[in-house]
């Protein structure tokens, strides 16, 4: 059932008004930063015959038209790689739909529809894309501090511009120190954003590149916000060679047929690249210091709840 009264009180709240204003500034300053670095904004893709497998979210939003099957975008990962055949540096504010388990309703961090700022850079390595991510976050925080003082005061948020380079920890070390809840444990203890590097192949999707000299380890990364806000972004270097991609899809026990179109592009030749996607609602939550992600955007859709 749709809870109109709760919805109206959120819509009329000072909190939402100010969070949305900050969000609009986040979008504006992200665009400025990326354009300055020579990135081109491409329009988002909402439906496609291929999307991120993200096997956690087995329910697929499928649309059938003209006898073809389109899926609702879970991420634009393959479109980002394919775009590089035209322009070398791209970004997009990409709406993603991921049907999260209803048990995540009150996690504070999960929406079933969210927007990620998705970035990809031709012939870049992980270090270069991590530097870009650090610069982007620092630029956003700096500009929000300069332009949104009354809003930050309202949220009692005293943000620090993160110091670059950010700290790094390997996945193995994070797991050893903090156990399987490493993301949240690390985030709670951190005073500055921190990178987690080198995830094992079993836990990630098939598109991040495997080290050529370390079997089973990927050249990828997550960025974790401090103060318990959890994951900020995810990305890495990409597999771009046809045979390797095919092998990786098969390892996941996904039928090659599902990625036939993507494989055709890979066969014709993709470029090496690196990129990441940073969730806009989670970034807004971190900047404003909010506990609940539904307070970070208009029309938030929580897992298991009817949204607008
Ligand atoms: N945007 C992510 C990346 O660039 C992929 C994802 O959202 N699953 O790696």
Is the shortest distance between the CB of 77 and ligand 1 below 6 Å? yes
Class of domain 4-163+240-296: alpha beta
In this prediction the pTM is: 0.96
Predicted confidence (pLDDT) per residue in 143-154, tens digit: 999 999 999 999
182 CA distance to ligand 1 middle (Å): 20
* Mean pLDDT, the chain, integer: 96
Nearest to 275 by CA among 112, 99, 117: 117
Predicted confidence (pLDDT) per residue in 51-101, tens digit: 999 965 556 678 899 999 999 999 999 999 999 999 999 999 999 999 888
Predicted confidence (pLDDT) per residue in 249-279, tens digit: 999 989 899 999 999 999 999 999 999 999 9
Mutate to test the pocket of ligand 1, among 114, 118, 237 (most ligand atoms within 8 A of CB): 118
- For residue 207, which atom of ligand 1 is closest to its CA? 9
Atom 7, ligand 1: residue with shortest CA distance: 75
Please state the domain extents for the chain: 4-163+240-296
pLDDT at 49: 95
- For residue 275, which atom of ligand 1 is closest to its CA? 4
Nearest to 274 by CA among 82, 140, 129, 116: 129
Nearest to 36 by CA among 175, 161, 135: 135
Please check the confidence at residue 197 and state whether its pLDDT lies above 80.
Answer: yes
Categorize the per-residue pLDDT at 122 as very low, low, confident or very high, splitting at 50, 70 and 90: very high
pLDDT at 288: 98
Predicted confidence (pLDDT) per residue in 101-120, tens digit: 899 999 999 999 999 999 99
What is the mean predicted confidence (pLDDT) over 212-223?
98
């Amino acid at each position: 059932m749709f809870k109109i009264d709760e919805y109206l009180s959120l819509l009329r709240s000072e909190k939402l008004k100010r969070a949305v204003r900050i969000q609009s500034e986040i979008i504006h300053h992200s665009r400025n930063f990326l354009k300055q670095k020579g990135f081109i904004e491409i329009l988002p893709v909402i439906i496609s015959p291929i999307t991120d497998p993200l096997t956690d979210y087995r329910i697929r939003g499928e649309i059938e038209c003209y006898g073809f099957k389109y899926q609702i975008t879970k991420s634009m990962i393959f479109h980002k790689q394919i775009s590089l055949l035209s322009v070398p540096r791209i970004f997009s504010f990409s709406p993603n739909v991921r049907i999260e388990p209803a048990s995540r309703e009150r996690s504070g961090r999960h929406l079933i529809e969210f927007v990620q700022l998705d970035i990809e850079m031709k012939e870049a390595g992980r270090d270069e894309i991590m530097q870009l991510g650090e610069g982007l976050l620092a630029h956003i925080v700096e500009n929000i501090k300069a332009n949104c003082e009354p809003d930050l005061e309202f949220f009692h948020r005293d943000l620090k511009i993160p110091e670059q380079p950010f700290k790094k920890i390997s996945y193995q070390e994070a797991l050893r120190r903090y156990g399987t809840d490493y993301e949240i444990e690390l985030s709670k203890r951190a005073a500055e954003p921190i990178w987690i590097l080198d995830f094992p192949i079993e836990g990630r999707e098939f598109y991040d590149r495997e080290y050529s000299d370390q079997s089973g380890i990927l050249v990828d990364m997550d960025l974790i916000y401090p103060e318990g806000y959890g994951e900020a972004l995810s990305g890495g270097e990409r597999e771009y060679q046809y045979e390797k991609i095919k092998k990786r899809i098969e390892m996941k026990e996904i039928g090659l047929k599902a990625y036939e179109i993507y494989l055709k592009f890979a066969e014709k030749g993709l470029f090496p690249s690196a990129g990441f996607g940073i969730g806009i609602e989670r970034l807004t939550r971190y900047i404003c210091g909010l506990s609940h992600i539904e307070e970070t955007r208009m029309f938030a859709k929580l897992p298991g709840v009817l949204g607008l």
